[in-house]
Amino acid sequence: MRRTISLESVAASGTLPEVLQAQQIKDKAFPTCTPGKNIRRNAYYWDGLYSQNPPVRQLLDLESKEAKPDEIWVIRINPQEVDSLQKLASLEDIRDRENDLTSNLSLNQELDHILTMNNWLTQWGDSHPPLSNRKIVEIRTIKMNRDTAWGLRRTSKFDRNPQHLEKLHNEGREVAEQWLAGWRVQGKDFDSYPNDARYSEGE
């Protein structure tokens, strides 16, 4: 069910199980097995990465083709891959990788659904339902430098040290400027998902 935005729901979006207990939102409506019948009870929420991270599907639920985006840009903070088996040598390494996989799972499912729709549109066009209200949507990935992504641990997400945050901020600005420059020059030929979610040699 769609929920309204509230202070509690915003707080829940930043509630990680390792840090805080689930955020309580009182007196919420939940559907039952009986069509049209809801029950009301207190609800408990963690950060949305376990279900949608981020919620991409809603961008394509708009009624008209014109309202749908031409491109979706994903800023990826959890790497798709690790460079070697040595990165999984310890229990902490495994937890780091588990965090990467969990964070990417729901996102990749939604992105792969868009790629499926793109393939159908390319193959059969949009002249008949259910494709008549669809359009091809490019997906592009913006990601941090490879050494930074592979060097950060899961615990770095809780690091509020100003020097750490400034370093990430500066790199993010540099990466974004380079990415936008390449996108402007190459246009439709610019790298897209899923290939651009990986790291190439020397990147």
| Range in 36-45, 46-55, 148-157 the model is least confident about | 46-55
pLDDT of 84 reads 67
Residue 136 tokens, joined: 């091809």
pLDDT of 59 reads 86
Q: Can you tell me the mean pLDDT for 4-25?
A: 78
Q: Can you tell me the mean pLDDT for 137-156?
A: 90
Strands 38-45 vs 71-76: parallel, antiparallel or unpaired = unpaired
pLDDT of 202 reads 56
Question: Considering the chain, what is the average pLDDT of its residues?
Answer: 86
Q: Can you tell me the mean pLDDT for 125-134?
A: 90
Half-sphere exposure of 177 (CA within 13 A, CB side): 6
Q: Can you tell me the mean pLDDT for 35-48?
A: 86
Amino acid identity, position 15: T
Higher pLDDT, 48 or 164: 164
Query: Could you report the per-residue pLDDT of 65-119, keeping only the tens digit for each?
Result: 889 999 999 998 888 887 766 567 788 888 888 888 888 888 898 999 999 999 9
Give yes or no for residue 176 having a pLDDT over 60: yes
Share of the chain above pLDDT 90, in %: 41
Residue 38 tokens, joined: 């809801």
Residue 179 tokens, joined: 């990415």
pLDDT of 137 reads 96
